[in-house]
Amino acid sequence: MLDDETTAFLQTGCALIVGTVGPDGAPHAGRAWGLDVVDPGPSPTVRLLLDVDDVRTLDHVAGLGAVAITATSVRTLHSMQLKGRSLGLDEPRAGDDDRLERYISQFFTDITETDGTDLDLLGTFRPFGQVPCLLEVHERFVQTPGPGAGARVR
């Protein structure tokens, strides 16, 4: 179950790192470009926008493999990890481009305002497109630096 506070946090411009595992057991790390909680219920489902050029992450997600998402606030370092399984790639929706732009604006603004990185430099980092996928969340962990990091959230 994802409460309202967790849902609100995940749907901001927090940094999103996605870890996947291929059918051969090989791990891969990539970046996501927006997350929306589709169903916060007992078996939460999230919809993630992946980089269209990250072929390995897309292959792993299409193969319905294990997935871990680490979401971290650039400003506060508040961080959590969601672990679960891919439900596969999702059909594009009309609002996906707007969602991508909203995420990039929040994420890049946080970086610029906290460490002074030039916005033009960050622009070279943006994806050329996105591919949506669905993930079922099975576990959640505290990842905020400190003595509680790694603790499972019940």
In a domain, 150, yes or no: no
Q: What is the mean pLDDT of residues 107-136?
A: 95
In a domain, 33, yes or no: yes
pLDDT band at 15 (very low <50, low <70, confident <90, very high): very high
In a domain, 152, yes or no: no
> What's residue 23's pLDDT?
87
E strand map for the chain: 15-21, 27-39, 45-51, 66-72, 79-89, 130-142, 152-153
Q: Above 90 in pLDDT, residue 154?
A: no
Report the CATH number that the domain containing residue 54 is assigned in CATH: 2.30.110.10
Q: Above 90 in pLDDT, residue 138?
A: yes
Q: What is the mean pLDDT of residues 5-20?
A: 96
For the chain, how many structural domains are there in total? 1
Q: What is the mean pLDDT of residues 122-134?
A: 94
In a domain, 74, yes or no: yes
In a domain, 123, yes or no: yes
Q: What is the mean pLDDT of residues 39-64?
A: 96
Q: What is the mean pLDDT of residues 96-111?
A: 96
pTM score, whole prediction? 0.93
| Residue 7 token pair | 């849902």
What phi and psi, each to the nearest 5 degrees, are found at residue 111? -65, -50
